Amino acid sequence: MDCNTCDSSTAIVINQPTVVEVTLTITDKAKEMLSGAFGDDRSNALLVGVLSGGCSGYMYDLQIVEETEQDCQELVIDGFRVLVPNATSHLLDGIEIDYVDRLMGGGFKINNPNASSSCGCGESFA
């Protein structure tokens, strides 16, 4: 509503990202760790998401879920169900999910060819 007493501002343009058909890989070490987490129940899925935050702008979010309300693509990789939200598919296409052992504890690591930069901890990217 415009009261004609203030300068009108221009409309805000919201750019919705294009949904990309995602391809991703999971290393043998990551599959081994996922097998331990899933056990024999392969009805659950690995949700691979992206959150705003971290030192570089985005953070990876891996969860084991029964289902999600997010609009996702479902991939099946060597018997593992993998869900990727369509809203962040452009950020996750081509990733490799790996698992690395470290002296102070291991963890999943995402190798992302789309990231223009990442932080030293490897948990966030831009």
Least confident of 36-50, 57-71, 79-93, 101-115: 101-115
pLDDT in tens, 36-68: 998 888 889 999 999 887 665 788 899 999 999
Buried b or exposed e, range 69-106, using 16+ CB within 10 angstroms: eeebeebeeeebbbbbbbebbebbbebebbbeeeeeee
Arithmetic mean of pLDDT over the chain: 84
pLDDT band for position 94 (50/70/90)? very high
Q: Is the pLDDT of residue 122 over 90?
A: no
What is the percent of the chain where pLDDT is above 70? 82
**What phi and psi values does residue 46 have, to the nearest 5 degrees?**
-90, 115
Q: Is CATH 2.60.300.12 the classification given to domain 25-125?
A: yes
